[in-house]
Structure 1
Amino acid sequence: MRVIDYVKERGEYVRSEDGSLVSASKMLERFLFPSSMQYTPIGKLSGGEKRRLYLLGVLMNDVNVLLLDEPTNDLDIQTLQILEDYIEHFNGPVIAVSHDRYFLDRISDKLFVFEGNGVIKDSVGGYSDYVAYRKEAAKEMAAPAQEAKAKADTWKKTTATKLKMSYNEMKEFENIESDIEKLEAGLEQIEEDMAKEASNYSKLGELMAEKERQEAALEEKMARWEYLSELDEKIKNQ
């Protein structure tokens, strides 16, 4: 079977966001199958091209709801970008399960977050909005503790107790900017490797897992840098 016949078998047209009809040929072009490829036998396509064609075949059924289960695990980066663009203009609800925070930021306007121990919370916006909300909530919960800490700091000042860094904190502060630069460079390298290994799903999974570990380490280092910088400023000003 040829590429165009496979798509037309599922639908000659699909309805766009504005209600107009888009032909199978135009949809193929949108999914990176130019007219020169549309009469190619499917057997001659690469693995990534076959997955892209299968995805288009599903969408050509003129679906009105999309259910996506970890789509970033099965699609190469190029196909994923096409899917994200399609979802952005899709005239219907999209329900996706994903651990990929960047994908969720691109497509979602509401999250159901599984926080563990049977707790599910809904959050308006994408993943970054949820993280910002969690940080704000944590600040509000920490306010009483911060107030108590402020009182303790006032008491320390009145008793002439001077702030100072421990030896380990001084060594950490000396090296922390270099550590952050190394982590950021490592993340850039991982993203380059992910682009190169876009069709190697086993390797891509390993790289995504390593990327999450590196991001967590970077977030922790940034928090330590902020704390130590504030402490250094207080020591200089006391």
Structure 2
Amino acid sequence: MRIGVVGLNGAGKSTLLRVLTKEEEPDSGRVTHRGGLRLGHLTQTVTFPDDAVVRDIVLGDAFGAEHEWAGDAGIRAVLDGLGLHTIGLDAPVKPLSGGERRRVALAALLIRDSDLLVLDEPTNHLDVEGVAWLAGYLVDRRGGLLVVTHDRWFLDAVCTRTWEVTDGQVEQYDGGYAAWVLARAERSRQAAASEERRQNLMRKELAWLRRGAPARTSKPRFRIEAANALIADVPEPRDTVSLKRLAGTRIGKQVYDVENVSLSFGDRKILDRVTWRIGPGDRYALVGVNGAGKTTLLRLLAEQGHPDAGEVKVGKTVKAAYLSQEVTELPPTKRVLEAVQEVAQRLTVGDRDLTASQLAEMFGFSSTRQWTPVGDLSGGERRRLQLLRLLMTGPNVLLLDEPTNDLDIDTLQSLEDLLDSWPGTLVVVSHDRYLVERVTDQVYALFGDGALRMLTGGIDEYLARRAAATAERAPAVSPAVGATPTESGLSAADARAAKKELTRLERQIAKLEGREKTLHDQLAANATDFAKVAELDSELRTVQSEREAAEESWLELSEQV
């Protein structure tokens, strides 16, 4: 059985794990383990001896000489899957970052046999590719699993049962995140009128799950008919056309024009003569492996850096808010509500006018918690407050670097609900696949070759490309005498021509998508002019057909390359 543990920050999830693993004694009752139980536990805080190297922690003396463990495919898969080759087995542990230390600790657990794995936030500091690998590994692994995580895609991909820690109790549900949302929605439907706001939020989240990925809802215990009744009249999470029109009114036509930009970080080339246009109302996700340069690119857009060559033109009316990964500039002596009101008293989002106190409650600060000094907040609460203060500045462009770090699922739902009606431009760097698919419309990727690529297939296409690139790096069979094929089977000249054609197709697809968006806007603006609507609709169908043909050509060619 694979159990996911969810709940608000501070609800006691990590405490529950420590009690179950006998690292902490309960106040009453007892915890019993089966005799000979082999248990592995990953905690949120990892400590190692100062003089240790990675090899000591991961392998120790348990696997003998290198020629013995290096031949074990299972060990190699774990080391590669968690990216330990980029760290190095002989690297000293002391100077490693917190994320690297957690990957080392996780690798040490996974390569050892255990009957039960207990993992506290294992996806923290893993990129999208690492999360996907870990999910697949845990599903294929024999033995039990108990995992605390706020990664909703991971919960659905891995867990067969969900425990919710709430009000000192543990509520149990069959299935992963989708089944849990369905159960909570049913419970909310039957609740009193005082729970109406929570019910509406669950209805919206449920509608997204049912429409976006119906296969996820396979194991709810209650009647599916009741769930369907809940969402029968729920609209799509956001009205993209209206939001883009509002964004154009707030920002104007120009947001960011990245023109022929080259950008390096140390000796790494991040961008090589890249052109990228970000318009009003665009919602983009930026993905790539750790170290690909996502944060550096985001800082460039936030005007906190300069390109090596080229130019970044920023619209005159752009008011950007940049959420970095570091929690900084919070007044420690002020209370939570005072820290929010210090920025603004109210915020209008779409058709909602919210007070600072109402927004604080949306972000998990109850009326009593709002009077807590900032210096007494937990790491997750400080992250929430940082994001809340950022939104209170009333930006029309949001640049978010890993916004889901340390946020619990309820807060993530509130954030997504707020962004659903937010009329502005959004660029998000995140390893949270669920958030990316939920709040953005287009995915761009950095693959480490200096290019920025639009991925029409989203995260699935990104993972497929990464897998293909990894396969290409494997040793190839020697070519026949006189031939000079690439690893894809094409000659070097054909491969170059194919890559140029891929680039051309990507530009064509981007141009056609832009034309589609313009036509949608024009259709909305001329809704009462039936002749004009018929003309625009005809053109839209033609553009959509051209885009689909270009995408099909791109997919066929990319398989060859």
TM-score range, shorter chain: 0.5 to 0.7
Deviation at 1:96, TM superposition (A): 1.7
Counterparts in 2 of 1:140-159, with a 5 A limit?
none
Counterparts in 2 of 1:19-30, with a 5 A limit?
22=73, 24-30=75-81
Deviation at 1:87, TM superposition (A): 1.4
Tell me: CA distance 1:107–1:201, structure 2 relative to 1, closer, same or farther (3 Å). Answer: farther
Deviation at 1:46, TM superposition (A): 5.0
Aligned position for 1:76: 126
Counterparts in 2 of 1:77-226, with a 5 A limit?
77=127, 79-114=130-165, 116-117=166-167, 120-135=170-185, 178-179=242-243, 188-189=283-284, 192=286, 196=294, 200=325, 202=327, 205-206=383-384, 207-208=403-404, 209=407, 211-217=412-418
CA distance, structure 1, for counterparts of residue 154 and residue 85 of structure 2: 26
CA distance, structure 1, for counterparts of residue 115 and residue 79 of structure 2: 19
Q: Alpha-carbon deviations, 1:49-80, whole Å to 9, x = none? A: 332112111223322211122334x4332544
Contact 2:118–2:146 (CA<8 Å) still a contact in 1?
yes
Residue 58 in structure 1 maps to residue 109 in structure 2? yes
Tell me: CA distance 1:91–1:139, structure 2 relative to 1, closer, same or farther (3 Å). Answer: same
Contact 1:7–1:24 (CA<8 Å) still a contact in 2?
no
CA distance, structure 1, for counterparts of residue 282 and residue 108 of structure 2: 35
Aligned position for 1:32: 83
Tell me the amino acid that sits aligned with residue 131 of structure 1. V
> Secondary structure, in 3 states, of the residue corresponding to 1:99?
coil
Contact 1:105–1:128 (CA<8 Å) still a contact in 2?
yes
Tell me: CA distance 1:135–1:70, structure 2 relative to 1, closer, same or farther (3 Å). Answer: same
Deviation at 1:213, TM superposition (A): 2.6
CA distance, structure 2, for counterparts of residue 26 and residue 182 of structure 1: 49
Contact 2:53–2:89 (CA<8 Å) still a contact in 1?
yes
Tell me the amino acid that sits aligned with residue 173 of structure 2. S
Tell me the amino acid that sits aligned with residue 111 of structure 1. T
> Secondary structure, in 3 states, of the residue corresponding to 1:12?
coil
Q: Alpha-carbon deviations, 1:145-189, whole Å to 9, x = none? A: xxxxxxxxxxxxxxxxxxxxxxxxxxxxxx896249989x98955
| Higher deviation after alignment, 49-58 or 204-213 | 204-213
Tell me the amino acid that sits aligned with residue 130 of structure 1. W
> Secondary structure, in 3 states, of the residue corresponding to 2:112?
coil
Deviation at 1:85, TM superposition (A): 2.8
Q: TM-score, normalised by structure 2?
A: 0.26
Deviation at 1:108, TM superposition (A): 0.8
Contact 1:10–1:61 (CA<8 Å) still a contact in 2?
no
- Name structure 1 gaps, 5 residues minimum: 14-20, 142-174, 222-238
> Secondary structure, in 3 states, of the residue corresponding to 1:9?
coil
Aligned position for 1:48: 99
Q: Alpha-carbon deviations, 1:76-130, whole Å to 9, x = none? A: 325444432321222111112233322211221111234x455643221111122
- Name structure 2 gaps, 5 residues minimum: 1-51, 65-71, 192-238, 248-279, 296-323, 329-379, 385-402, 423-561
Deviation at 1:218, TM superposition (A): 6.0
CA distance, structure 1, for counterparts of residue 122 and residue 167 of structure 2: 26
Tell me the amino acid that sits aligned with residue 97 of structure 1. V
Contact 1:84–1:106 (CA<8 Å) still a contact in 2?
yes
C-alpha RMSD of matched pairs (Å): 4.6
CA distance, structure 2, for counterparts of residue 46 and residue 53 of structure 1: 11
Tell me: CA distance 1:32–1:67, structure 2 relative to 1, closer, same or farther (3 Å). Answer: same
Deviation at 1:42, TM superposition (A): 4.2
Percent identical across equivalent pairs? 25
Aligned position for 1:171: none
CA distance, structure 1, for counterparts of residue 113 and residue 246 of structure 2: 48
Tell me the amino acid that sits aligned with residue 122 of structure 1. Q
Tell me the amino acid that sits aligned with residue 123 of structure 1. Y
> Secondary structure, in 3 states, of the residue corresponding to 1:112?
strand
> Secondary structure, in 3 states, of the residue corresponding to 2:60?
helix
CA distance, structure 2, for counterparts of residue 57 and residue 138 of structure 1: 42
1:12 pairs with 63, 66, 76, which one?
63
